[in-house]
Structure 1
Amino acid sequence: MSMKIARLSCENNETYGFVKGNKVSTKDEITYLTGVPIPQNVKDFLFDGWYDEIKNKINDLPYEENLSKYKLLAPIPNPNKIICLAFNYVDHAKEQGLQAPEDPAIVIKPRTTLNSTNSDIACPDFVTQLDYEIELALIIGKNCKNISIEDAPNAIFGYMVFNDVSARDIQFKDKQFTRGKSFDSFAPCGPWITTKDEIQNPQNLKMTTKVNGELRQNSSSNNMFIKIPEIVSKISKVMTLEKGDIISTGTPAGVMLNKPNAVFLKDGDKVEMEIESLGILNNTIKIIKSN
C-alpha cells in the first residue's frame, strides 16, 4: 500500500493527510473513519507504528477536501539531520571537471533551512551568486547504524523533491560548503512524502529544473554515482541514522556553479523542480535587505 503524505496548514492550524490527485483526506477524517486515534505529530504517526496500523484502510478514505484549501508545509518537521551529498552525479561532476567521489562527500544543513513548496526562498542581499540544485531526497524510517547495502532499502520510508539552495560566492570564499548552504529557507522540499513502495525504481526518475520557465537541469536519478542503498549504508557507518532524517542524494548537471556566463538567481525568479512520480516544488526568490 503506497501513499503520498503531506503536512498541511489551514488558518494556522497544522495537520497532515493523504493526498490523491488534488484531494486530501486529513488526520481528523482518518481518525473518524478508522476509529484509530492517530497522533497530532506527523513524525509520531509515520515512524511509531500508527501508519502501519491504518495503511490497509487508506483506500476506503473519502478524499473529499480540496488540497488547495491548505498550505503545504515541509513534509518532515524538525528532522535530527539533513545530510546532502556533493558531486554524486556523474554528469554534474564532469561539468565541474571532477570525478564523482567513491565515498559520500557530505554536507549537513541545519533544520532551520527547511522550506516548503509555494514559499519564498529568502536570500540576504549580500549573497551575489545564488544557485539551485534539484535533488532526490529520502526519508529514513527507522534508526540504524552500520546497516548493510542489502538491508538499507528497509530503512527508507519514502522520497521527496529537495532543492539544495547554495550561495556559491560564500562557498568559494569559505572553501567549504556549510555556511553557503545553511541560510534559513535554503532547503525547500516536498511537496509531500511519497512512500517507497510507490516508486518501482528510484534510480530511474526524470528530474528537471526550470527557472522562469527555462529548462536548466534535465537529467535522471539514473546518473547518480553512489546509488541509494550504498549511500544509506556508507553514511550509517559514520553516524547513526534516525527516524525522520533526510538524506539528499546530490544534484545532476545544469547548475550555474563554475559556468563562464552563469546566470545566478535574482529577486522574483520562479524556480520549478519536478521529479517523476514525486511531484513539483515551486518557489520564488526573494532578496532581503540586510542591515
Structure 2
Amino acid sequence: MKFASVCHNGVNHAVLVDGGSVIPLRGIAEIGPQTPGDLLRDPPLDDKCRLDISDVIFRPVVPGPAKVICVGLNYREHIAECEQATPAYPVFFSKFASSLIGPYDDITLPPETHRLDYEAELAVVIGKECRRVSAREASGYVAGYTVANDITMRDFQFRTHQWMAGKAWDRSTPLGPFLVTPDEVGDPQKLEIRLMVDGDVRQESSTGLMIYSVAELISILSEFTSLSAGDVILTGTPSGVGDRRTPPAYLQDGATVSVEISGIGRIENRVRNEFPVRRTTVETV
C-alpha cells in the first residue's frame, strides 16, 4: 500500500493512495506518530471522501517527525569521490522537521550559500518504538519507505567537522511523495536510485551498494536512542554529487532536480532564490 500526507481545501489529511485518487484516513491529519505501522496495515478509511489525486497538495510524507536522522558516507563510490576513508561506524547527523518540504515544493536557495548541492537518498520511516533491536528484528519496525533529497550547503557543511550547519537549513529537504509499505517494496537493498538535474542524470546507483543496510542502521541507531513511530532515517547518497564533479556543478535558481527510486516514487523540485535578486540599472545619458 501507498500512503501520503496531503492538503485539500486548506485541510490536512493522511491518505491511502489508490490509483488516480486518494482516500482519507478517518480523523488522521498526517503520516507520523499517530499512524504507527500496525494502523497502516488496517487503515480506517473514509471511502465516502475519496478525492482525485490532482486536487490535493502533497506535503512532506511525514510532516512533523520527532527525529530526522541522516547517514553520511554510506556508499563506497561516494566515499572515493570525497577522498575519505571508509568509516568503521556509520556517520550520523540530524536535520529538523523545519528542513522538510513536500515532494513538489520549491527548494529554497538562501543568499548565504554559493554551493547548493543535491543528494538522492532512500528514506525509511519507523513504524513503532524500538530500542536495542537486532538487525534481524529491524524490518519489523519499519512503517515504509520514501524518497528524499538531502540538499546540502557545502560551504557551510565544511566550516567545522560537524555537518549540521550545512544540512539543516529551513525548507530545503524534499520528502515523499508516498510512504510505501514494506510488503510492497520487498528487499530495500534491491532498489535503483537516480537523480537528474534539468533532465541530465547526475546520480545513478543501487541501494544494494550501501555499506550499512537499512536493517543495520536501525539496529545501530536503536542501540543509543529510542526510535519512535514517524521517525525518519535518510540512508546516504551514492556518487555523483555536484561538489565532486569537474568542474563542480551546484544547483542554481531555476534548476529542476528530481529523484526517483524504483518501486517507491519520484520527487521533483524547482530551485528558487529565497529573496529576489536585486539588479542595478545603469542609466545612460
TM over 0.5: yes
| Partner residue, 1:195 | 181
Stretch deviating more after TM superposition (188-197 or 252-261): 252-261
Residue 50 (structure 1) shift: 3.6
Which structure has more helix as a fraction of its residues? Answer: 1
Unmatched segments (≥5 aa) in structure 2 = 278-285
| Partner residue, 2:263 | 277
TM-score by length of 1: 0.89
* CA separation of 1:70 and 1:226: change in aligned 2, threshold 3 A: same
Residue 287 (structure 1) shift: 1.4
Instruction: Map 1:1-291; keep pairs closer than 5 Å.
Output: 3-27=1-25, 31=26, 38-43=27-32, 45-47=34-36, 49-54=38-43, 65-289=51-275
Aligned partner of 2:121: which letter? E
* CA separation of 1:112 and 1:227: change in aligned 2, threshold 3 A: same
| Partner residue, 2:283 | none
| Partner residue, 1:35 | none
Aligned partner of 1:13: which letter? V
The CA RMSD measured in Å over matched residues stands at: 2.2
- CA–CA separation in structure 1 for the residues paired with 2:239 and 2:74: 10
* CA separation of 1:53 and 1:272: change in aligned 2, threshold 3 A: closer
Is the 1:127–1:170 Cα contact (8 Å) retained in structure 2? yes
* CA separation of 1:44 and 1:259: change in aligned 2, threshold 3 A: closer
Is the 2:7–2:58 Cα contact (8 Å) retained in structure 1? yes
* CA separation of 1:290 and 1:108: change in aligned 2, threshold 3 A: farther
Report the 3-state secondary structure (helix = DSSP H, G, I; strand = E; otherwise coil) of the residue aligned with 2:106: strand
- CA–CA separation in structure 1 for the residues paired with 2:60 and 2:266: 13
CA offsets, 1:50-87, max 9 Å, x none? 434447xx7x9689532010001011121111000000
* CA separation of 1:175 and 1:40: change in aligned 2, threshold 3 A: closer
Aligned length: 277
Report the 3-state secondary structure (helix = DSSP H, G, I; strand = E; otherwise coil) of the residue aligned with 1:117: coil
- CA–CA separation in structure 1 for the residues paired with 2:241 and 2:68: 21
CA offsets, 1:185-215, max 9 Å, x none? 1211000100111111110111010001111
- CA–CA separation in structure 2 for the residues paired with 1:41 and 1:278: 19
Unmatched segments (≥5 aa) in structure 1 = 32-37
Is the 2:135–2:219 Cα contact (8 Å) retained in structure 1? yes
TM-score by length of 2: 0.91
Residue 175 (structure 1) shift: 3.3
| Partner residue, 1:34 | none
Stretch deviating more after TM superposition (45-54 or 204-213): 45-54
